[in-house]
Structures are given as C-alpha cells and as structure tokens.
Amino acid sequence: MSLRGKIVFITGASAGIGAATAMAFADQGARLLLAARRAGKLAEVASQALERGAAAVHSFDLDVRDHRAVQQAVDDLPSDWAEIDILVNNAGLSRGLDKLYMGKIHDWEEMIDTNVKGLLYVTRAVVPGMVVRGRGHVINLGSTAGELTYPSGAVYCGTKAAERAINDGLRQDVLGTPVRVTSVDPGMVETDFSLVRFHGDSERAAKVYKGVKPLTPEDVAEVIVWAASRPAHVNIARVLMTPVQQANSILFHRES
C-alpha cells in the first residue's frame, strides 16, 4: 500500500521513536500531523520531516493526558487535515524503578495518565472518523514489559499490559470495518526512555544499556511503516521485537 499523501497522526513526536517514525513516514511522502508537549523540539522534527520528503507537516502542542484538549485538537483540525488515515499512539513514558510498596504516587499517576488514559483519549477522538470513512489504521506502541512483569516495574508493566488489552479489544470492536489495529512491542530501545525514568540521572540511565546493543528508534520506526504499508486486507496484529541480546523483559546477555 502506498503511503504517499496519507495523513499520519503521531503523538509524542518530538523525540525518540516518535521522531524516528515521523522521518520514516516522511521518506514515504506522507502528510504528517505531529503532536507533543515540547514545542521547540517538535518544531525541529517538523522541519527535518519536510526536508526528508514529507508532503506536508502540521504540528501542534498536545498533552494527551488532557482529554478535553485532545478532543478539541482533533475537532479543530483544518478540513484538509481532518481525515486521518494512520494514527500512531506513541506518547508514553516510565517514571521511577521502585518496589511497588515504596513507589511514588506522582510517578504512578503520570504513567497511567499518559500510557493508558492518553492512549484512550486519542483513540476515542480519532477512530470514529476512521469507521465512518471506511478506512484507517491504528498503530499502538506497546512493550515487552506488557508481556512479562519485571521487579520494581509493576506499574509501568501494568500500563503496557493495559495497552495490549486495549489494542486487542479495539481490533475486535472494529471487526466488520476496514480499520486495522496493530501493536508494535519493542524491547530495549536506546532513547531518552531511561533518562526520563530516572528523572535526568544520565549515569544511571547509561547503565541500562551497558553490554547490550539495543534497538534504535529507527529500527522500531521501520517496523511501524512496514505494518502500515501492508495491503489493505492484511492486518498485522502484533509485532514483538527485541535486540538479539534480549530474550524478554528480564533476560539479557550482556557482554563484559
């Protein structure tokens, strides 16, 4: 399926997998709707996407945790941007690595509000239009953490298990329409993920990747574009991808 001219809405597009996904769709000549909280970084991504070949770019500030702002942003899209073909629910984060009984409530709320409720808010705002138009594809960013819980990660893993259930439930709920639903579930990817998790502690974040060659954001973006470009009758339900040195969310082979 050609992606040229398709309207692709990517949340959390200012960095990491979101930014790489924007570039990958730009390479295909897609039209990009880019949303994130960091306006400055988002503007840089939008400019780079145009240079890479995006047919057009429309970017705007958005905090997916605010359901009214999400709905308003979708409702207020210019008419030539309103018919979204592909939604990439990428916005998400992890905060802290504490035992559950010692966890910080603020960290829990930020993860749940972004990874679960934000995913729901954006999906609820966009998918009805896809159903009415009889075309569309929702691609959700999951994680190996949604399949196997690891110590001190119960809440983050819980949010990613919820993503998996929401993804599968949506795929069932749109059965009978041409709308496709996909979850791309990566393992270790070297982004700002760990830096965000550890509240800016770069030394601690660097240790996460020690001895392992992790996935890159571009590796994940390539899979997202591949799933989106399958023939219209093909739905890729889920892709689980890891570095060769990772078996699941708790088993790694680290070189000394």
Checking phi first, is residue 177 left (phi over 0); if not, alpha (psi -120 to 50) or beta? beta
For CA atoms 37, 43, 48, 49, the dihedral sign is: positive
Which entry of 101, 121, 156, 209 is annotated as an active-site residue? 156
Half-sphere exposure of residue 170: CA atoms within 13 angstroms, side-chain side: 30
Sheet holding 7-11, edge to edge: 56-61, 31-36, 7-11, 86-89, 137-141, 180-186, 238-241
DSSP string, 24-45: HHHHTT-EEEEEES-HHHHHHH
Whether 156 is a known active-site residue: answer yes
Cβ atoms of 133 and 177 closer than 8 Å? no
| Residues labelled catalytic | 156
